[in-house]
Structure 1
Amino acid sequence: MSRSIVRQSKFRHVFGQAVKTDQSYDDIRVSKVTWDSSFCAVNPKFLAVIVESSGGGAFLVLHLSKVGRVDKNYPLVVGHSGPVLDIDWCPHNDNIVASCSEDTTAMVWQIPDHTPSRPISEPIVVLEGHSKRVGIIKWHPTARNILLTAGGDNLIIIWNVGTGEPLMTMDDHPDLIYNVSWNYNGSLFCTTCKDRRLRVCDPRKNEVVAERLSPHEGIRPMRAIFTKEGNIFTTGFTRMSQRELGLWDPTNFEEPIALLELDTSNGVLLPFYDPDTNIVYLSGKGDSSIRYFEITEEPPYVHYISTFSSKEPQRGMGFMPKRGVDVSKCEIARLYKLHERKCEPIMMTVPRKSDLFQDDLYPDTAGPEPALEPEEWMDGRDADPILVSMRDGYVPPKSRELKVAKKNVLDTRPATRRSMSVIDGSSLPVTVATRFSVYPDQRFTAVTQIQYVSSPDGGSAPRKDLYSPER
Structure 2
Amino acid sequence: MSRSIVRQSKFRHVFGQAVKADQGYDDIRVSKVTWDSSFCAVNPKFLAVIVESSGGGAFLVLPLSKMGRVDKNYPLVVGHSGPVLDIDWCPHSDNILASCSEDTTAMVWQIPDHTPSRPISEPIVVLEGHSKRVGIITWHPTARNILLTAGSDNLIIIWNVGTGEPLITMDDHPDLIYNVSWNYNGSLFCTTCKDRRLRVCDPRKSEVVAERLAPHEGIRPMRAIFTKEGNIFTTGFTRMSQRELGLWDPTNFEEPIALLELDTSNGVLLPFYDPDTNIVYLSGKGDSSIRYFEITEEPPYVHYISTFSSKEPQRGMGFMPKRGMDVSKCEIARLYKLHERKCEPIMMTVPRKSDLFQDDLYPDTAGPDPALEPEEWMDGRDADPILVSMRDGYVPPKSRELKVAKKNVLDTRPATRRSMSAVDGSSLPPQLLEKLVEEIQNLKATVLSQEKRICDLENKLSKYTNGTV
What TM-score bracket applies, with the shorter chain setting the length?
0.7 to 0.9
- Mapped contact 1:249–1:257 kept (Cα < 8 A): yes
* 1:37-94 residue CA offsets vs partner (Å, 9 max, x unmatched): 0000000000000000111000000000000000000000000000000000000000
CA distance in 2, matches of 1:249, 1:295: 13
- Mapped contact 1:163–1:404 kept (Cα < 8 A): no
- Mapped contact 1:281–1:290 kept (Cα < 8 A): yes
What's the CA shift for 1:6? 0.7
CA distance in 2, matches of 1:230, 1:393: 28
CA distance in 1, matches of 2:152, 2:263: 30
CA distance in 1, matches of 2:172, 2:261: 30
- Mapped contact 1:332–1:361 kept (Cα < 8 A): yes
Moved over 6 A (4+): 1-4, 407-429, 442-457, 463-471
CA distance in 2, matches of 1:390, 1:418: 26
Shift in CA distance, 465/292, structure 1 to aligned 2, threshold 3 Å: farther
Shift in CA distance, 121/467, structure 1 to aligned 2, threshold 3 Å: farther
Where 1:127 maps in the other structure, the secondary structure is strand
CA distance in 2, matches of 1:55, 1:230: 43
Moved more, 405-414 or 365-374: 405-414
Asked if residue 464 in structure 1 is aligned to residue 457 in structure 2, the reply is no
CA distance in 1, matches of 2:387, 2:418: 57
TM-score with structure 1 setting the length: 0.86
CA distance in 1, matches of 2:238, 2:68: 41
What's the CA shift for 1:400? 1.6
Shift in CA distance, 297/118, structure 1 to aligned 2, threshold 3 Å: same
* 1:299-338 residue CA offsets vs partner (Å, 9 max, x unmatched): 0000000000000000000000001010000000000000
- Mapped contact 1:450–1:464 kept (Cα < 8 A): no
- Mapped contact 1:181–1:191 kept (Cα < 8 A): yes
Asked if residue 44 in structure 1 is aligned to residue 21 in structure 2, the reply is no
Moved more, 413-422 or 42-51: 413-422
Which residue pairs with 2:448 in the alignment? Answer: 449
Q: Which has the higher helix share?
A: 2
* 1:145-199 residue CA offsets vs partner (Å, 9 max, x unmatched): 0000000000000000000100010000000000000000000000000000000
CA distance in 2, matches of 1:369, 1:197: 34
Q: Which has the higher strand share?
A: 1
* 1:426-451 residue CA offsets vs partner (Å, 9 max, x unmatched): 9999xxxxxxxxxxxx9999999999
- Mapped contact 1:140–1:182 kept (Cα < 8 A): yes
- Mapped contact 1:243–1:265 kept (Cα < 8 A): yes
TM-score with structure 2 setting the length: 0.87
Shift in CA distance, 456/319, structure 1 to aligned 2, threshold 3 Å: closer
CA distance in 1, matches of 2:425, 2:127: 51
Aligned residues: 454
CA distance in 1, matches of 2:384, 2:402: 22
Shift in CA distance, 447/332, structure 1 to aligned 2, threshold 3 Å: same
Where 1:464 maps in the other structure, the secondary structure is helix
Shift in CA distance, 262/443, structure 1 to aligned 2, threshold 3 Å: farther
Where 1:445 maps in the other structure, the secondary structure is helix
CA distance in 2, matches of 1:281, 1:469: 77
- Mapped contact 1:421–1:427 kept (Cα < 8 A): no
Shift in CA distance, 175/393, structure 1 to aligned 2, threshold 3 Å: same
What is the aligned-residue RMSD (CA, Å)? 9.2
- Mapped contact 1:421–1:428 kept (Cα < 8 A): no
Identity score, percent: 92
Unmatched 5+ stretches in structure 1: 430-441, 458-462
- Mapped contact 1:450–1:466 kept (Cα < 8 A): no
Unmatched 5+ stretches in structure 2: 430-440
Where 1:290 maps in the other structure, the secondary structure is strand
- Mapped contact 1:78–1:121 kept (Cα < 8 A): yes
- Mapped contact 2:280–2:294 kept (Cα < 8 A): yes
- Mapped contact 2:35–2:85 kept (Cα < 8 A): yes
Shift in CA distance, 72/467, structure 1 to aligned 2, threshold 3 Å: farther
- Mapped contact 1:323–1:393 kept (Cα < 8 A): yes
CA distance in 2, matches of 1:414, 1:330: 32
Moved more, 443-452 or 185-194: 443-452
- Mapped contact 2:164–2:407 kept (Cα < 8 A): no
Shift in CA distance, 342/466, structure 1 to aligned 2, threshold 3 Å: farther
What's the CA shift for 1:469? 40
